[in-house]
Structures are given as C-alpha cells and as structure tokens.
Amino acid sequence: MSYYKVAVLGATGLVGREMVKILEERDFPLKELKLFASERSAGKKITFKGQKITVEACSEGSFHNIDLALFSAGTEAGRFYGEIASRQGTIVIDNSNAFRMDKNVPLVVPEVNADDILNHQGIIANPNCSTIQLVLVLKPIYDELGVTRLIISTYQSVSGTGKKAVQELMDQTESIMAASGFKPEVYPHQIAFNVLPHIDIFENNFYSREEMKLVRETKKILHDEQIKISATAVRVPVIIGHSESVYLETRKIISLPELENLLNKAAGVKVLNDPKNNIYPLPVMSKFKDEVLVGRLRKDLDVENGYHLWVVGNNLRKGAALNAVQIAEHVIRNF
C-alpha cells in the first residue's frame, strides 16, 4: 500500500474542516497532511488523529512535492492555486466553481461517473452541493428508465454559504427572539424566519448562478445535453442539509414500488419513504449521514412518466468534503 502527501487548501472553512475530519474517519493513506488557508487564518491549529496541525498561509510554493490537494477556498483561489499546483504535478480536487465546466476537467460524483476521473489533466472538479445529491439519486433512474426532464425547487441551508452565514442566521435569530434590531450582512435580506429565492448572483436569463449550476453540472455529469432541466434555488433558515423537491420525467414507466426498489439498490442512497408513519428525509437527519436521503416518492397525478421525489443531503459532507475525498480515493487507486 502506498501513502500520499496530501494538502487541504481552505482548511479552516466549514468544508475544509470537514475534509480533514473525513480523511481521518476514512483512514486515508497519508504520508503527510499539510493544511493551508489565507494569511488571516494561518497559525490556527486543527486536530487530526489526536495531533495538532498548524495551518499555514498558502503561497505559490506550498504544493511542492504534494501528491494530492483538496481545495475548498472559493473560485478565485481555486483557479490561481489550481493552475500552479497542477502544473507542478499535484493532482488537485477543487470544490469551487472555477473549473467545473472546463472541458479538460472531469466533474465527478464517484458513484455516478468515476470513469471520468481517468481523463483528468491534473485537476478534477467537485460538483456543487445541490448537484451531487441530485445526480446520486438520478443515476439509477437514468440508467434504468432514461430521464428526459427535471424541474427542481431547492431548500438550501446556510452552511452552504459558509461560517459567516451560519453565524448570521444565529445572530439574527437571537435578535428577533429578543425583539432587537439587526442588519443583514452576508445575505441581502433577513434569513432568520425567512426564505430567500436567491443563491449566488443572477445571470442574464434571470436564473441565479446556483440554478444554472444545477442545470449545467447535471448535464455534464450524466453526459447528456438533451435532458430538459430548470430549477429554482432557495435559501432556507436551516443550518446543515439541503433539500430538493424534484419532478422528473422518464422514458420508460415503472410502478412506485419498482422505483423504490431501484433507489434502494443505489450506492450512496438511502430511501426513507413511509409518509403515513412520518418517515421522510429531513435536513436535520443529514447531520451525521453520508448517504443522500430520498422519499416522498409519488407518481405525477396526470403525466404517466412523471415522478416526484424529495431528496435531502448533507451539503458539507457528501455535498462537498466527502465527495472530494471519495474522488481522491479513486485517484490513488490509479496512481
């Protein structure tokens, strides 16, 4: 068995910390673990397998001799260090939007399109959180029935935005409970006891970038530009766990029990589908879960090949850090 020098960039962020935790949980074969962040966060210590590792400020030389780097440092830093690190031989798995739609960069959810990893040229992109949980549930349906159309409405937690957003939700909640004032900073409007149909910036077609990520990334991961996809992305006052109300149309038609059976066999998916006994996926359930949860399985009331699903995933784990580490595990199998 080989052991690898691994770096995490953005190690002090919500996803970065989760990456470190998951490398430990899954006992990733490490020769050395380096933790990088911006200058502001340098000097912080993060515990890994009982030892404190000091976070270093990232610089152009940081990735010298690093085999594998997991990035969760935003689009700008992702692009800048991704190009530097990959040029000097480090394999980069980047969680930002920097490279996702780049033709030379595989966009991978291992249970769905692990084979794409083989085509990497030094950089592999980790999809957006809301895409990962969607395609994981879609994959068995796509393979068995064909999927022609998707309409998605999301219910996304604030941890998807980052630490400051979690703090803003908590602070605003406290202010409202105490009937005192507050000023939104991370989000353009109040997020506590409210929902915002606004995630990321708006594009010229009036869809938000988050909505377009779901559209573009899903097509790329499934290698199918023909699927019709539209989405509405909404931020909700939940801390961890994204939920999605998914409508899909298929080529072939199956019964609900057959659909449930199909999803039950899918890797990384857990079916919770007994609504009369109050059993369905909830974001609070996803906190310590690696599987993506699916339930509320229904046939459309009018369209014979239409189905409705309710999909919940942990946006920090499978939606980000876990998926990145799983990609790393695939990479080292072919190292």
* Least CB distance to a copy of itself at residue 288 (A): 15
In whole angstroms, give the CA distance from residue 75 to residue 100: 10
Nearer to a copy of itself, 10 or 281 (CB): 281
For 241, residues 6+ apart whose C-beta sits below 8 A from its C-beta are 157, 282, 283, 284, 285, 286, 287, 312, 313, 314, 315
For residues 87-146, which are near a copy of itself according to CB under 8 A?
none
Residue 175 is a binding residue for a copy of itself (CB under 8 A): no
Structure tokens at 138: 């879609």
Instruction: Judge contact between 148 and 249, C-beta under 8 A.
Output: yes
Considering the rule CB under 8 A, would residue 296 count as an interface residue with a copy of itself? yes
Beta bridge partners of 45: 54
| 242 is known as an active-site residue | yes
* Alpha helices (runs of H) in 6-66, residue ranges in sequence order: 14-25
Interface mask toward a copy of itself for 232-271; x: CB under 8 A: x-x-xxxx---x-x-x--------x---------------
Q: Which of residues 8-27 bind a copy of itself (CB under 8 A)?
A: none
Give the integer Cα–Cα distance in Å for 327 and 202.
30
Distance CA 208, CA 228 (A): 17
**CA distances, 222 to each of 11, 134, 214, 246, 318 (Å):** 30, 11, 12, 17, 18
Query: In terms of CB distance, is 195 or 254 closer to a copy of itself?
Result: 195
Candidate segments 101-109, 111-119, 133-141, 292-300, binder of a copy of itself by CB under 8 A: 292-300
Number of residues that bind a copy of itself (CB under 8 A): 56
Site map 141..160 versus a copy of itself, x via CB under 8 A: --------x-x-x-x-----
Query: Is 198 a residue of the active site?
Result: no
Q: How many CA atoms lie within 13 A of 105 on its CB side?
A: 23
Per annotation, catalytic residue among 120, 242, 308, 330 = 242
- State the binding string over 215-234 for a copy of itself (x if CB under 8 A, else -): x------------xxx-x-x
Buried b (16+ CB within 10 A) or exposed e, 132-158: bbbbbbbbbbbebbebebbbbbbbbbb
Cβ neighbour number for residue 309 with a 10 Å cutoff = 23
Cβ distance to a copy of itself smaller for residue 92 or 199: 199
Among 208, 250, 315, 326, binds a copy of itself (CB under 8 A): 208
DSSP 298-318: EE-SS-TTEEEEEEEE-TTII
196 binds a copy of itself (CB under 8 A): yes
Among 114, 280, 289, 330, binds a copy of itself (CB under 8 A): 280
8 A C-beta contact, residue 313 and residue 138: no
Return residues touching a copy of itself (CB under 8 A).
149, 151, 153, 155, 170, 173-174, 177, 188-190, 193-198, 202, 205-208, 215, 228-230, 232, 234, 236-239, 243, 245, 247, 256, 275-276, 278, 280-284, 295-303, 306, 308, 310
Known catalytic residues are: 129, 242
